[in-house]
Structure 1
Amino acid sequence: MERMSGPYAIRGAVSLPEAELQWRFSRSSGPGGQHVNTTDSQVELRFDLAATRALPEVWRERALDRLAGRLHGGVLVVYASEHRSQWRNRETAARRMAALLAEATAPPPPERRARRTPRGVVERRLRAKHHRADVKRGRGRRGDWE
């Protein structure tokens, strides 16, 4: 069997370890031509995130925390069935897995530091409020035209 076009980089020099990936194939729904009922084109890719040593410990803990809702017993599962070809579905699943792990292992954004609101912003807001109040105040009364 041909090798995948990987390795699929997660971030930097860290990539998906092919030895730790588990592949399963099944019949996919949707169009497929005459041999649709005989081809296992849907791909299920499994990666044991809890037991891996391929990721740095800090990344692994961060990913376990962020992907907790997607994990089944510490295992991250990705499905792909949008293509007719099993090969293309394998590529899609591997890319999707790498993207998920890249997003989950990214460092947290810097904390937001509170700043004072500029005086001009406050003045414009208050001026707009007074103008709006004047417009509404002018609507309610009947004028001298009666």
Structure 2
Amino acid sequence: MQRIIAGLFAGLTFGAGLVIAGMSNPLKVQNFLDVFGNWDPSLAFVMGGAILVAAPFFRLARFLPRPFVADDFRIPTFQQIDKRLIFGSATFGAGWGLIGLCPGPALVSVSLLSPQAIVFVLCMTGGMLFAKFVANLSMRRALKQA
């Protein structure tokens, strides 16, 4: 129950922060990315604020035996930059720039009943399922050849 309450609190805090910062508004995000046009640098402060809040906790995690409400820390250890990471990052960035939404703000916008966000989340889910299918297909082919 403690994990559920912690997750609920974290999710509500995150969602409220996205709405307050304007990240659930696609135009705000698109104007941030439009550095040669109607540029709005305010989202840089959102990112900077997130780093200022999160960075000390990442450092603190090194000294704790385990998290307060989980069995272990899930800090990524994979540090290799490969084609999959580059292609995924470019695809994510292109989608974010075109529509002005990324997964977190899109889910918040769905809760606000935004038709654009609902279509986006459905398409995003389809894209994730397709990517998983392609990855599994590639893995099966690699195993057959081995």
- State whether TM-score is above 0.5: no
Structure richer in strand, relative to its length: 1
Q: Which has the higher contact order (CA 8 A, sep 6+)?
A: 2
TM-score class, shorter-chain normalisation, is under 0.3
Provide TM-score, normalisation by structure 1. Answer: 0.22
Q: Greater share of helix residues, 1 or 2?
A: 2
